[in-house]
Amino acid sequence: MTRKGRIWSSMTTSRHQTRSSWRNRDSEDKPELDRAEKRTDKASSSQPAKPVAKKKDTPAGPPPYKPPLPFPGRFKKQLLEAHKAKFDELMRQLELKLPFIDALMLIPPYQKFLKDAVQQRTREAQGMVVLTRECSAIIQRKVISDKKEDPGSFTLPCMLGPLSFKNSLCDLGSSVSLMPLSVAKRLGYHKYQACGISLVLADRSIRLPTGMLEDLPLRIGNVEIPTDFIVLGNG
C-alpha cells in the first residue's frame, strides 16, 4: 500500500511465496537431520566401548615412627596383672559343659593363671633376709652338727732344759723357731752364733736377730727334738 492508498498485490503474493518456500525447506531438512542422527547413534552403538583408564593409587606414606620402650621389663608386670584380672573376670562368667581336662587343653596360655587359682597361692613380698648357717641348713633340710666356739691359738706344753712352758705357740707360719733374748739368758746362754738373716714381722717391720742357738733339746711329752732357735732381742 502506498501513501495514496494503493495496494500492490504482486508484493504481497511474493512475500507469501517466500515464507511458504522457507517452511517447505525446513520440513524437507528435518527428516534428513533425523536420519543423520540415527546413523550416528548406530555407529556409536556398533563401536566397542573403550575401557576407562583407572587412576593409579598413589602409594601411601610410611606410618609414623613409634620409638620402642626404653625399659620393657618394667611394663611386663603391669601387662601380666592386666591379663590376670581379665582372666579372673572371664572365669567367673564361664559355664563349661565339657570335661575340665579338655577345657585346660583348649586354653594353654593360661596354665600358670589356672595353677595359681587352684592352689590359691599368695604373693609374697620381696625382700632380703640375712640367715645364719643354722637357718639356711634348716631351710635346705640338711643335718649339721652344732657350731663350736673358736678354740683359740694352737699351743702345746713343752720343756727346754730346766724351764717348762705351758702354752708354746705352734705353727706360726714362719720357717724359723724364735726364742726371746730373755729366755735365752734364763737358760744361761750369752754367746750366740752369727746368722746373716733378717726377719720380716707381721707388721711388715724388718728386725735383725741377735744370733742363733743350735740343737737345743726340746721336749714335748716323752719325745726330745733337737731344734735350732733364732734369738731375737726386744729392742
pLDDT in tens, the chain (235 residues): 555 555 555 454 445 555 555 555 555 555 555 665 656 655 555 555 555 556 666 667 788 888 877 777 777 888 888 888 888 888 788 776 777 777 766 665 666 666 666 665 545 545 566 666 666 666 666 566 677 787 788 888 888 888 888 888 776 666 778 888 888 888 888 888 888 888 888 788 888 888 888 888 888 888 888 888 888 887 5
- Could you tell me where the beta strands, DSSP code E, fall in the chain? 155-160, 163-169, 177-180, 199-200, 206-207, 211-220, 223-232
Between helices 72-93 and 111-119, what is the axis angle to 10°?
Answer: 70
* CA dihedral of 17, 18, 23, 26, whole degrees rounded to 10: 140
Beta strands, E only, 99-205: 155-160, 163-169, 177-180, 199-200
109 grid coordinates: 596360655
Separation CA 165–CA 156 (nearest Å):
8
| DSSP one-letter code for 158 | E
The answer to whether residues 218 and 224 touch, using CB atoms and an 8 Å cutoff, is: yes
C-alpha cell belonging to residue 76: 611386663
- What is the number of alpha carbons within 13 Å of residue 108 lying toward its C-beta? 1
Q: Which pLDDT score, from 0 to 100, does residue 201 have? A: 80
Q: Which grid coordinates belong to 94?
A: 564361664
Write the CA distances from 36 to 23, 25, 42, integer angstroms: 20, 17, 10
Place of cell 705351758: 166
pLDDT at site 229: 87
pLDDT of residue 13: 47
Matching residue, cell 581379665: 86
Closest by CA position to 178, among listed 210, 204, 221, 226: 210
- Is the separation of the CB atoms in 185 and 193 below 8 Å? no
